[in-house]
Copies of this chain bind each other. A is one copy, B any other.
Amino acid sequence: MGTGADPITRLIHELGKLPGIGERTATRLAFHVMRAPESLAQGLAQALLDVKAKVRLCSSCMNLTEDDPCALCADARRDPGLLCVVATPADLLAVDRGGAFRGRYHVLHGVLSPLEGIGPDDLRIGDLVRRLRDAEAASGGTAQPIREVILALSPNVEGEATALYLARLLRPLGPRVTRIASGVPIGGELEYVDQVTIARALEARREV
């Protein structure tokens, strides 16, 4: 469908390129945009252009950011001795939304996946190692070394493999390497939780 199509068909087509949005949903969204005030279309269009024009990677944590270093790395109230490693910027957002973690982050931009041909060199692992070494080297002065690396990777095959790989790689560099707990989610109904999660939750049981 070229630029020759009428604007409505073209908008439906463009919306349909987004993941999880089929022709039906795209049509519904397009007609909503047409009924809505012009500011909705303009605001969304501007946000789409801005995000591509202004967003780059933070040279320290590799998160997507407008400024370098990013707001998280520049925040002096965040503990630089505590590093949370996540697979994607979306995962970082999910971890940070809760406000439970007040250290720094490092975004890998993926996980190890031999099946998809994704090895260590395809991820931001080299940058992570360099960051740990730099912090160690500078720790004589005003900076402090990284005491703990928390691996916040999804508990699936690729996440497990990546966590294992990173633990072996990073431990010799000095920090404690930990992994976020897996188990039954808070508010979850035991009845509907899968067996692997139940098994993991039993294994990791603690004294009350």
Q: Which residues of A are at the interface with B, using a C-beta cutoff of 8 A?
A: 6-8, 10-11, 13-15, 17-21, 25, 27-34, 38, 40-52, 54-55, 64-66, 71, 88-90, 93
Contacts and interface: CB of A to CB of B under 8 A. Distances in A.
Given A15-B44, A93-B27, A52 B66 contact: no
21 contacts: A6-B65, A6-B66, A7-B50, A7-B54, A8-B64, A10-B47, A10-B51, A11-B44, A11-B48, A17-B43, A18-B29, A19-B28, A19-B32, A27-B93, A33-B52, A34-B52, A41-B48, A42-B49, A45-B45, A45-B46, A48-B48
Given A10-B51, A11-B51, A44-B45, 18 more contacts: A8-B55, A14-B40, A14-B43, A14-B47, A15-B47, A17-B40, A18-B29, A19-B32, A27-B93, A33-B52, A34-B51, A34-B89, A38-B52, A41-B51, A42-B49, A42-B52, A45-B48, A45-B49
Q: How many copies does the complex hold?
A: 2
A201 B90 CA distance: 49
B27 A44 contact: no
Contacts of A20: 25, 28-29
A31 B18 CA distance: 11
Contacts of A55: 7-8, 34
A75 B8 CA distance: 18
A98 to B, nearest CB: 14
B14 A30 contact: no
B51 A8 contact: yes
Contacts of A27: 90, 93
A120 to B, nearest CB: 20
A43 to B, nearest CB: 5
A49 B47 CA distance: 12
A64 B8 CA distance: 8
